[in-house]
Structure 1
Amino acid sequence: MKSLLLRNIREKVSSSSAVKLKHSLAVIDPPSLIDGEPEPAIAPVDPLLVIFDDYIKSRQSTAPNTKILHAQLLKTRLLQTQVGIADSLMDCYCKCGATGYALNLFDTAPQWSVFSWNILISGFNKKSLFLESWKHFCRMHKLGFDADEITYGSVISACTALRASWNGMQVYSLALRKGFRANGYVRAGMIDLLAKNHRFDDALRVFHDVSCENVVCWNAIIAGAVRNGENQIALDLFRQLCRHGTFLPNSFTFPCVLTACAVLEDLETGKMVQGWIIKCGNYDVYVNTSLSDLYAKCKDMEGAMKIFTRMRFRSVVSWTAMISGFVQLDDYISAVLLFKEMRSLGEEINTFTITSLLSASGRRGLTKTATQFHALIIKCGFDLDPAVGASLFNMYCKVGAVDSSELILEEMERMRNPNNHAVMISLHAQANDAERAVELFVSMLREGVRPDKYCTSSLLSVVNALSLGRQVHSHVIKSGLVFDVSVASSLFTMYSKCDSLEESYEIFGQICEKDNVSWTSMIAGFAKNNLPDEAVRLFRNMLLEGNSPDQSTFVAILTAICSLNSVHKGNEVHAKVIRLGFGEEITVGGALVMMYSRCGYLKLARRLLDSLPLWDDVACSSMISGYAQNGYIEEALLMFHKMLKANFAVDSFSISSVVQAVTLTNRLDIGTQLQSYAMKVGLDSNVAVGSSLVAMYSKFGSINECVKAFDQIDAPDLIGWTTMIMSYARHGIGEEALKLFELMKRKKMRPDPVTFVGVLSACSHSGLVEEGYFHFDSMVKDYGIEPNYRHYACMVDLLGRSGRIKEAERFVSNMPIKPNALVWETLLAACKLHGDIELGKLAAKKITECEPSDAGVYISLSNIYADLGQWGEVMNIRSSMKGAKVKKEPGWSVV
């Protein structure tokens, strides 16, 4: 290449001599028309300057060729004598990326101009050496050179890239002082700087400071609005631009506006923008891609495909937008077919294409497809990308390939890529592996990597220990992330989950600008911690502060109202739902069905369910649960049957509700069918389904089936353990119940008051008095659970069954709370068993004081006298029942 350039130089020199000879002959031949007037002399053109001029115009500068020309210019001393040669040569060096040579040339130049400084600063910007741009601007300013609009615009761009908003504002102030207030290039750069530093209000002030006669400024402010999530403002600005009339939007304006329409899912405005695109004729690949993405985001894939098929040129972004659109519509087949077509045409793929496909492949039954995509990822070299690794992990989790998902985690950890830290913490959080997530977080801090808001929020989502949560909170305050809304929301959600609502609410109150996520999380926290009144109060405060609830907010508040069992408050929320246009939303409709069914308004709940445009599994499950809880067993079974016929994805909540309904009947055959179906769909290991099956078989007397159902549960929760303990207790297998209780404690499961009722019942049915006393004391001493009437009744029953009547009497007398009817009835039953008339009379008297109309008391005392043959006392009791107008309901049997 060097020899070729040198040969061209020699040829230019020789041909240039011939040209000069011809020119001289031409001048001699025709005589001068004006006598006495000398001919103007033609300055000779240096051939090297011709070559250099052609080289600059070619725009194909390379560092070696530029160095050759540089050497020739030095040799001929043209560089020192010709004005502007040094600047042009420096520009060539910058264009080919050789900024080091450009800087050396700049430092050896005999004189500098503002043009020289601009070339150097722009060259640094092109090579992303933004700090060098700033340093040389400071040097320029210190030496007294007056910058122009190009200089200020370039330096502000460098400050934008450096996220140095304060430096950029200083430069802009200097530009204003020098009279560049109305310059579009400078203002556009400042608007862009402020918008990218999340200071959109300041960017708007700069934009409105002077009447804008430059489309570049409009583009900058519209792009800034979209970047800061102010999509509605972006559309308003676009409408103002269209009304301006001085100039038209261009190919940079339309993609930003279409992105805002896509985020807002505003297809009507998008079609209006499309009309402007047709009017302006600005159809390029970026505009077309944004158009197809708009239609896809608005779920109009037919319109998106029309635009896509008419595109002359398609980029990887275009293909990916279409694939993502099909994925959002859950059209896995169309997404894969489009990807195959993309591959057959030889189009390149990127990480966004891969992650979109992986999210489509994450469903049960597609394990083979998932592994094929994984193989393609490895082949294309995307397996080292953290985002792709995270999508792979999620895909394998969704298809049920747990071993493969764990291998992905191990592989990502072996990469030791600092960028993987946040992704790995997020993945371990999704896998609910709090211990490993904390280890990675600590590792980040030790390696000097500063966790960002996403990483911190992911960690807080799995923290379930108050002490650890407070340590993370301290780090959040130290790092300044406490002012971020998402981190603050994660913080108070963590405290809420750790049953520290006071701290949770305190952090919530410290958030200056609460978004819908914050309000919804706090409302859900109150609802989860059995404080529905506080949830309702917070919802009202949210409305008073002018916030508009979204679907998630309505679901949270309706869940709280379910606990209140207040249909009046539910009606108020329902009215708000209709007023805000969420009446036909499936998730909100399902929550309303749940609320009305829990409150016992089943007809209203069913009418609301039938009015929904589509049924979903949540709404149907809520209806089934409502029917089951209110004793409408047949209706619950019919609704479940409809779900199966409609091919709904039956979840664990639906099956457990139906099983609970069957438990109220004597239809064990239906229960076994439900268990078979649960096994078929893989839900027999679910804790809710398993616990319901245990309770059902326990009620039907099949303790062996109880054990089998319990053993099938993957990870029993407290309800599951308690249900099995109660089943053992009900069947008199106390020792097994206590063994299971010990195993439960070894699994770090903390018992609650209901669990201890089961344990004490097991001791009672098996006559384990000492063990009963031990667990009764442990409940208070080890777990801080204050005994209630059911616990005292269990202890009285335990002592009574063991024949320790006097001890039972002393136990009742020493109770720290006044015994209620349940305790006295238990003591009365013990008196009947052992024939203790005097104590039985006392117990009966106490019961009648608590519940005067309880016929069972009279009957129990009558039976005691009858067993002892004291028939006169029996007749007296019968007479006293007539006097108190107490009637005994006649017994009956289905046998």
Structure 2
Amino acid sequence: MFKSSIDSGSSTHGKLAHAHMIKTAFEPSLFLQNTLVNMYCKCGELDLAHQLFDKMPQRNLVSWNSLIAGYTGIGDYQNAVWVFNEARVSRLELNRFAYASILRVCAQTGNLELGRMIHGLVLTNGLGVRKVLLANALIQMYSKCGHVGQARLVFDYSEELDGVSWNSVITGYVQSGMTSEMMRLLVKMHRSRVGFSSYVLGSVLKSCCSNFVGCEEFGKMLHGCCVKLGWELDIVVGTALLDMYAKIGDLSEATTLFRIMPSKNVVMYNAMISGLFRSETLNNVYAKEALKLFAKMQIRGIKASNVTFSAIIKACNACQEYEYGKQMHAHICKRNLQYDEFIGSSLVELYSLLGSIKDGMKCFSSTTKRDIITWTSIIMAHAQSGEFEGALSLFCRLLESGPKPDEFTISIMLSVCADLAAARSGEQIQGYAIKSGIDKLIVVHNSLLSMYAKCGDIDSARLAFESTDSPDVVSWSVIICGSAQHGRSRDALSLFELMKDHQIAPNHITFLGVLTACSHGGLVEEGLKCFEGMTRDHGLTPNEKHCACIVDLLGRAGRLADAESFILDSGFAGVPVVWRALLSACRLHKDTVMGKLVGERVIELEPEAAASYVLLYNLYNDSGMEKSATKIRDLMKERGVKKEPGVSWIEVGNRVHSFMVGDKSHTSSTKIYARLEEMLEKIKKMGFTNESHVSDACEFEERQGSAVNHHSEKLAVTLGLISLPPSAPVRVMKNLRVCQDCHTIMKFLSKLEKREIILRDRIRFHHFREGFCSCGDYW
């Protein structure tokens, strides 16, 4: 009855027999008691086994071995070691089975120190490490602890070897990335006429995914070997082959293998679905193919695993099947798999793409085991949704929770600091990157360049760029675009020439930076020459942003007719952004005739964009056409088009302070307004008058009364002047273009306060020093 329970894995019959023994006061022999203990151990009921073991009046080696093996079998390694130590304390002479069990514990836990001690005890007790049982246990222990060299020594000096011995050493070489040694041993195994197993072939095929030299040819050779030996249709070998071809990018061969396999399990489906998600092949077609495979799994009744769901959610994200993704989320909750860290990170990405940070945070909170991928996903979700302060808060929680941020997390956080213009926070994150030793990685270094440039410190960005060992196209593009935005047009062009001298091929973003530099610097001929060379010399096709730069370049130079002709010939005549650039030029040169036609056209193309209405309104208002301006304003109200409110912010004392027009919510608002009024009175005595500039304010609601004096950027700059040390520059960011009134006032304030004021608006940076701006009033 006890052996019946051992064979079936169910303790029901054994318990009935045990109960009958107790009821009849039957006194079992030591043999029967050991069988009973073994039954409870094999059925996973270690509590009952241990209770019975403690009550045994007499125990022998079999008793102890059963209990050690039982704890090892259920993964309770701590108790397995405890029982082993108790057996040694009892001065019992342990045999090779006990030592083999405890060596398996060492292998599973990676406890090399204990494993070496057991090895020594085996040698001391003369149990014969050259015999197959202990030899295999030692080989597996050393291999799994990362000491495959010592495993090979045990292997070479063993008198008895079997397939497990060979497989263990080969697997150890695979896991250690020692492909040359692995291949030599595989050849030796074949010459020794030891038959390959599905396990060893699967392990070796796994090594072909590690991109060593000749891995593709070696993998195909192994495929031929599998076919010759009749293993290609084995589920383990077939899955390994499929995974290998998918990882080396041969999806055609992977699909063929998947199709011909007579039986498919969830692991094979997972391998095929995951194969469709390699970075080199991911697109909508493959993503939808993955969804079809999942549907076939459901039809065949194959139960999906957490790996399957994680891949399918990624497929939904890739092909924008968000509703399907929500259905998968419901399916995941039904299976109670929402706590898995890989599924959690995929769900966070799903809801961030949907713009639902709240739902993404719920998924994040429900994930009990959060690895760095899960943390990075939720931080990126906040960053992509513009929740920058939330991203910073989560990063602080990450540092407190344990997982170490990797280069991708640091890169995202530097981008967050760039968007917030939080230079001090960015410097602290840079310090963490240096301490962690990842600051030299190119992805971190490029983000650092961008952070300094976007925070208004182009000199630090240039120093960081010059310290880069091997700048790539991203590094060059970032520093060129940064120089352009800071008004250093000639520097941007010099860097572009230097980039070409270093044989770095420019991309679309590089040219966007160069054309922006030409536009902001009024370098018409240089800009046109660069635009022509984009296709002629580098084979790049300009997009609407490049064309908008050329329109802006010609428009600022007063060549409005040329700009219009360029649009009509560019192939982007139906794109609103290029016409909006021309409308902005019409406003600059007060050309109401062309401006009216262009404004009507751009509003027709993009009737919901507030920027077009505001530009046309300002054009009419600047030209004294109040009735036309009022009509545009009424048209906006009639169509329900709302302008984005102007917001400015400044970092002071590790905190970002935000302001809107006339904002009095700040705790220091009384001091801010008093200081601002004091400075306005002083600059009036210096010759400033705002009467001629009021019409240039960008916001409708800011044109009345004293509101023009309380624009958001003025309030932010004033807080900086009050709070920052006299030697520190005042860096303020704004989400809209700076108005002419504020631009003029900043020049006066920089001279009055003898301070550098750096103001970033939607278009560019303005560096105000001693009454002058870096843009040369050309913005």
Q: How does 1:424-463 map to 2 (within 5 A)?
A: 424=375, 426-432=377-383, 433-440=387-394, 450-454=401-405, 458=409, 461-462=412-413
Query: Alignment partner for residue 305 of structure 1, among 255, 274, 286?
Result: 255
User: Which residue of 2 is the match for residue 346 of structure 1?
Assistant: 301
Structure 1 residue 693: Cα displacement: 6.9
Q: How does 1:327-366 map to 2 (within 5 A)?
A: 327-328=277-278, 329=281, 330=283, 331-363=286-318, 366=321
Q: How does 1:384-399 map to 2 (within 5 A)?
A: 385-398=340-353
Query: Alignment partner for residue 631 of structure 1, among 517, 529, 534?
Result: 529
- What residue identity is the alignment partner of 2:288? I
- 1:204 equivalent to 2:137? Answer no
- What residue identity is the alignment partner of 1:334? E
State the distance in 1 between where 2:153 and 2:536 align. Answer: 64
Task: Decide whether the 8 Å contact of 1:231 with 1:261 is kept in 2.
Answer: no
- 1:668 equivalent to 2:622? Answer no
CA distance 1:655–1:294, shift in 2 (3 Å): farther
State the distance in 2 between where 1:324 and 1:59 align. Answer: 37
CA distance 1:695–1:717, shift in 2 (3 Å): farther
- 1:743 equivalent to 2:697? Answer no
Number of aligned residues: 623
Task: Decide whether the 8 Å contact of 2:238 with 2:261 is kept in 1.
Answer: yes
**Cα displacement string for residues 631-660 of structure 1 (whole angstroms, at most 9, x for unaligned residues):** 25567699999959xxxxx6x755655555
State the distance in 2 between where 1:149 and 1:777 align. Answer: 89
State the distance in 2 between where 1:627 and 1:456 align. Answer: 41
| SS, match of residue 529 in structure 2 | coil
Tell me the TM-score normalised to structure 2 length.
0.64
- 1:273 equivalent to 2:260? Answer no
**RMSD of equivalent CA atoms:** 5.5
User: Which residue of 1 is the match for residue 239 of structure 2?
Assistant: 289
Task: Decide whether the 8 Å contact of 1:457 with 1:487 is kept in 2.
Answer: no
State the distance in 2 between where 1:528 and 1:596 align. Answer: 19
- 1:60 equivalent to 2:8? Answer yes
Task: Decide whether the 8 Å contact of 1:597 with 1:627 is kept in 2.
Answer: no
Query: Alignment partner for residue 78 of structure 2, among 124, 127, 131?
Result: 131
User: Which residue of 2 is the match for residue 112 of structure 1?
Assistant: 59
**Cα displacement string for residues 178-219 of structure 1 (whole angstroms, at most 9, x for unaligned residues):** 45443555455555555555xx3x332332355164443443
Q: How does 1:418-497 map to 2 (within 5 A)?
A: 419=370, 423-424=374-375, 426-432=377-383, 433-440=387-394, 450-454=401-405, 458=409, 461-462=412-413, 464=417
State the distance in 1 between where 2:268 and 2:525 align. Answer: 50
Task: Decide whether the 8 Å contact of 1:567 with 1:596 is kept in 2.
Answer: no
Structure 1 residue 124: Cα displacement: 0.4
CA distance 1:273–1:662, shift in 2 (3 Å): farther
User: Which residue of 2 is the match for residue 159 of structure 1?
Assistant: 106
- 1:534 equivalent to 2:467? Answer yes
Structure (1 or 2) with the greater helix fraction = 1
CA distance 1:355–1:772, shift in 2 (3 Å): same
Task: Decide whether the 8 Å contact of 1:358 with 1:373 is kept in 2.
Answer: yes
Structure 1 residue 556: Cα displacement: 5.2
Structure 1 residue 261: Cα displacement: 1.4
State the distance in 1 between where 2:590 and 2:169 align. Answer: 73
Q: How does 1:393-792 map to 2 (within 5 A)?
A: 393-398=348-353, 401-402=354-355, 405-412=356-363, 415=366, 417=368, 419=370, 423-424=374-375, 426-432=377-383, 433-440=387-394, 450-454=401-405, 458=409, 461-462=412-413, 464=417, 529-535=462-468, 538-539=469-470, 554-555=472-473, 565=495, 591=506, 629=527, 631=529, 633=531, 654=546, 657=549, 659=551, 663=555, 666-668=562-564, 670-671=566-567, 677-678=574-575, 701=590, 708=613, 733=693, 736=696, 742-744=711-713, 772-778=747-753, 780=755
State the distance in 1 between where 2:397 and 2:7 align. Answer: 50
- What residue identity is the alignment partner of 1:253? V
CA distance 1:790–1:490, shift in 2 (3 Å): closer
Task: Decide whether the 8 Å contact of 1:258 with 1:290 is kept in 2.
Answer: yes
| SS, match of residue 106 in structure 1 | helix
Structure 1 residue 471: Cα displacement: 7.4
| SS, match of residue 84 in structure 1 | helix
State the distance in 2 between where 1:659 and 1:396 align. Answer: 38
Task: Decide whether the 8 Å contact of 2:648 with 2:713 is kept in 1.
Answer: no
Unaligned runs of 5+ in 1: 1-50, 501-524, 540-552, 575-589, 601-624, 645-649, 719-728, 802-895
Tell me the TM-score normalised to structure 1 length.
0.57
**Cα displacement string for residues 299-353 of structure 1 (whole angstroms, at most 9, x for unaligned residues):** 3222212221222221112112222223443223322222222222222212222
Query: Alignment partner for residue 261 of structure 1, among 208, 211, 215?
Result: 208
Task: Decide whether the 8 Å contact of 2:747 with 2:773 is kept in 1.
Answer: yes
- What residue identity is the alignment partner of 2:467? E
State the distance in 1 between where 2:207 and 2:170 align. Answer: 9
CA distance 1:380–1:747, shift in 2 (3 Å): farther
Query: Alignment partner for residue 34 of structure 2, among 73, 77, 87?
Result: 87
Task: Decide whether the 8 Å contact of 2:266 with 2:303 is kept in 1.
Answer: yes
- What residue identity is the alignment partner of 2:225? W
Structure 1 residue 120: Cα displacement: 1.0
State the distance in 2 between where 1:98 and 1:257 align. Answer: 37
Larger Rg, first or second structure (1 or 2): 1
State the distance in 1 between where 2:524 and 2:532 align. Answer: 12
Structure 1 residue 59: Cα displacement: 0.5
- What residue identity is the alignment partner of 1:324? S
CA distance 1:117–1:379, shift in 2 (3 Å): closer
| SS, match of residue 291 in structure 1 | helix
Higher relative contact order (CA 8 A, sep 6+): 2
CA distance 1:386–1:239, shift in 2 (3 Å): closer
**Cα displacement string for residues 712-731 of structure 1 (whole angstroms, at most 9, x for unaligned residues):** 8899999xxxxxxxxxx9x9
CA distance 1:181–1:700, shift in 2 (3 Å): farther
State the distance in 2 between where 1:110 and 1:166 align. Answer: 35
User: Percent sequence identity over matched residues?
Assistant: 18
| SS, match of residue 208 in structure 2 | helix
Unaligned runs of 5+ in 2: 481-491, 516-522, 600-610, 616-641, 650-688, 699-707, 721-728
State the distance in 2 between where 1:782 and 1:700 align. Answer: 28
| SS, match of residue 667 in structure 1 | helix
| SS, match of residue 290 in structure 1 | helix
State the distance in 2 between where 1:116 and 1:132 align. Answer: 15
| SS, match of residue 631 in structure 1 | helix
- 1:149 equivalent to 2:100? Answer no
Q: How does 1:165-184 map to 2 (within 5 A)?
A: 165-179=112-126, 180-183=128-131
Task: Decide whether the 8 Å contact of 2:747 with 2:769 is kept in 1.
Answer: no
Task: Decide whether the 8 Å contact of 1:215 with 1:247 is kept in 2.
Answer: yes
Task: Decide whether the 8 Å contact of 2:273 with 2:311 is kept in 1.
Answer: yes
User: Which residue of 1 is the match for residue 661 of structure 2?
Assistant: none
State the distance in 2 between where 1:559 and 1:795 align. Answer: 25
